Amino acid sequence: MNLDVDDVDQAVSTGLLPGWDRVDEHVAAAYERSRENHDGVVADYIPALAAVDPALFGVSVIEVDGGTHVAGDADVAFSVQSISKAFVYALVCEELGHDAVRERVGVNNTGLAFNSVVAIELNDGHPMNPMVNAGALATTAMVPGSPDEQWDAIHAGLSRFAGRTLVLDEEVYASEVRTNQRNRAIARLLESYGRIQTDPARVVDTYTRQCSLLVTARDLAVMGATLADGGVNPVTGERVVSPAVCRDTLAVLAANGLYERSGEWLFEIGLPGKSGVAGGIVTIAPGKAGIGTFAPRLDAAGNSVRGQRATAYLSRVLGLNVFASAAHVHLGGGAR
């Protein structure tokens, strides 16, 4: 769909968070309100994830000015998993542009599971969006260069989002290599449709590596705050991607970030976000902050239960929901 607005400057809508102390109090409250919830189960189809302590729980909010708020296990490391999809997508958009990535990968929700093969066949080989596995593999394949150069670019780019050099979890990587047959099948199917034009086995390997990078809830909040602040990392001050790329990435996250539960997430929380099966969720309040949570117990769609509860609370008490508004005060009391 061509709306013919590429030459129109886009105004931005930003607001202010409450004072630092109030945000700190609310982050602590989000942690306390959610910590006793024991719903969900730890992902067990990747052996290295099945061994994680299900009691772990951390919450972090990083403001666009660098203000930091943490509670619980916010500095415990875990693999980024599918959350990496959002940031690799941003890096590819920065490199190749809005139109090229939209045409190859798409932006629409499949309504099906994140690793669905049926979704590819139903859409004539189109991966549909970069937040499901098919779209993520197509996105990773678009990173310029050889496989080694692609990995170096992804590793460096995600580290710039986090504001520190991220480390590969070799145990998780090895575990996923032994169990990623479905991703290998998806990549081969995409190759047959011309959506992947390089060696699909190498693409899957690079994708598996990016999912195995270690982050913390604090890291996720920094990464989210970078997207919230028009692409500038609030901790390092470095520009990672452009404001236009942030806009595109957040739009895709709003539509697809929580898989087939994305509509429910947007309805209840009203913010773009992305989950991963290790238990992380990153959420972005444009112009305000990034939220990072970590809690390994997942719902049936692969989304952290405690993370969703804590984020929903923060969205309400901090006034983050992008769809929430108050009535405008009209002088004279009359309707216009």
Question: Annotated active-site positions, please?
Answer: 82, 85, 207, 259, 277
Contact 272, 257 (CB under 8 A): yes
How far is it, in rounded angstroms, from Cα 200 to Cα 190?
8
133 labeled binding residue: yes
Grouping H, G, I as helix, E, B as strand and the rest as coil, residue 233 is coil
Tell me if 183 is assigned to a ligand binding site. Answer: yes
Rounded to 5 degrees, φ, ψ at 214 are -90, 135
On whether 207 is known to bind a ligand per the annotation, the reply is: yes
The strand pair at 78-79 and 280-285 is best described as unpaired
Q: Give the 3-state secondary structure of residue 186.
A: helix
Helical segments of the chain, H only: 20-34, 47-50, 83-96, 98-105, 118-122, 133-141, 147-162, 170-179, 181-192, 200-211, 217-228, 243-256, 262-268, 305-317
109 labelled binding-site residue: no
| Residue 173 marked as a ligand binder | no
Q: Is 264 annotated as a binding residue?
A: no
- State the residue for tokens 């509509």: 263
* Contact yes or no for 85/257 (Cβ under 8 A): no
175: annotated binding-site residue?
A: no
CB 53 within 8 A of CB 23: no
- Distance separating alpha carbons of residues 202 and 128, to the nearest angstrom: 22
Say how many Å lie between the first and final Cα of the chain, rounded. Answer: 34
Q: Do the Cβ atoms of 109 and 116 come closer than 8 Å? A: no
Annotated binding site for substrate: 82, 133, 176, 183, 207, 259, 277
Residue list, annotated binding site: 82, 133, 176, 183, 207, 259, 277
